[in-house]
Structure 1
Amino acid sequence: MNKLTMVSAALCLAMGTSVYAAPGGGEQGSTNGQPFKTINERIDILEMELGDAIALINNRLDLIEQEQLEQNARIDFLMTALTALEMRVTTNENHIATLTAIQDLQGQLIDALRTDLTALEIRVAQNENDIAALVLADAAMQALITAIQGEIVTINARIDANDTDISALQQRASELEQQLLIVSAELQTKQARVTGICEPGSSIREIFENGDVTCEPTNAAGVTALNTYRSSGVIETSNNLRSVTDDRYCLSGDRVVGGGHLLAGGQGSVLASYPISDGGWRITGDFNSAGKRTLTTYALCVGASQ
């Protein structure tokens, strides 16, 4: 391909040199150099056509070379496949030899199995009598099973009736348990009977949950001035926080001598009811479920002069 290009280039160079080597006067009175100009234009056209032809030939040569490369690749692939096929044939021949040996062994095994089959046929014939006896026993067993199934149906009906009674009893037990919880909550909020007494000239200052009292002297008129203050509010508890605390304070300068509480709107219990050091009364409660309730805390106070 390169040689063909060099030959065409040399040919074009020689033709161009012969045309422009001897400039002179024009032919038959024409302008000087006009015929040579026409020839040069023709030569240019020929050079272009020659270049196109050379390019076409070069493209064809490239295509042939590419096809040759592809054929070489196919040949290499076929050679590789042939080698692999030869290896597979060799492997298959080995397998065939192995299978032939296995077939011989299987023939021997079949002969042995035929002998065993004959012995088994003799044993089967001997067992047929036993099977007949077992069939009769099975029929008797089926009859017994049918009778037992009838008994099971009867027992299941009785169990269903018992389940209904049990469900009713469980519902009644649940209702009683709810009533017991309500009664227990009410009992825990109940004030114990007052058992303590105060001597003449004194009055009750504080009543405890167990019924005991604390006494204090009365004034000259025999009366102790008491002021009652209360603090009411809606308390909401969640499943994570059920314990609440509510405080009620006396007026500035007064002192607390007693206190109490009132719970409305739900179940719960009071864990503690006691005075606090800064002149007030504290109620601490615990509720057994989440929800809103109204807790009222009372503080019984006397003036500083009392």
Structure 2
Amino acid sequence: MNKLTMVSAALCLAMGTSVYATPGEGEQGSSNGQPFQTINERIDILEMELGDAIALINNRLNLIEQEQIEQNIKIAFLESSIAALEVRVTTNENDIATLTVIQDLQGQLIDALRTDLTALEIRVAQNENDIAALVLADAAMQALITAIQGEIVTINARIDANDADIAVLQQRADALEQQLAQVNAELQTKQARVTGICAAGSSIREIDANGNVTCEADDANATFETYRSSGTVDVDSSIFLTKTVTNNRSCLSGYRAVGGGHSVNGSLGVGNVRASFPTSDTNWRVIGYFDSAGSRTLTTYVVCTRIMP
């Protein structure tokens, strides 16, 4: 229905309403006896009211048209939105199908993980038992370590004591080396074993370094005398230590040494004699070597003869 049709319908509705609004009025009912004059006045009024109504209707129609345009825009927007939603719904349906497949795979994976979890729980229980055993073993190991540390402290103390003993032994070894050097020097001048003898009526006059003798006829006034000297040897019984002792014996004035010897006695061992030799015409020397603890007596003998004028 267009505007003109709507306005005509509204005019007819207004005129019909005006004509039939005062039924029974006519020529006799008018105040001046002029029925058409009254009708004309009413028509004028109706025309004015009709103009106002038409203007109002036109305004309303304009508003309706504007609202219709806006609704068409909204409808077009909604149709576009619906089309986009249909695309999204289609996409979502595809995604749902994909997610359904993924969910099935995840379910299978979860079942596999549950199986692995059960196996892991069993292994964890076994590991816990192993850990408990290791804790006990660690406690025993700690106790052993503590005991070993105590032993180490004791051993270190013993090592320190041994270091001190080693230092003492080193000093004594140095002294022994000096004594051995002295013995070796004295051994270079030792007297060889006497091998020569003199016939009856003669006596030994000289003994050379090789042990050979020179004889001379006995003198009726010649005399032989034996002299001896002794020295005590003490060796520390707390450690094993060698000790070298030198003992000398000389002839009296007017006598010459023609021989010599030695003897060693003691309750804890006798030791060894390394050298027995004359150091001059009137002196005899004995060098003893002892390598065990105890007290001993080293005796040196010298055989002397009187020097003839």
Verify same fold: TM over 0.5: no
For the pair shown, the structure with the greater C-alpha radius of gyration is: 2
Q: TM-score, normalised by structure 2?
A: 0.34
Q: TM-score, normalised by structure 1?
A: 0.34
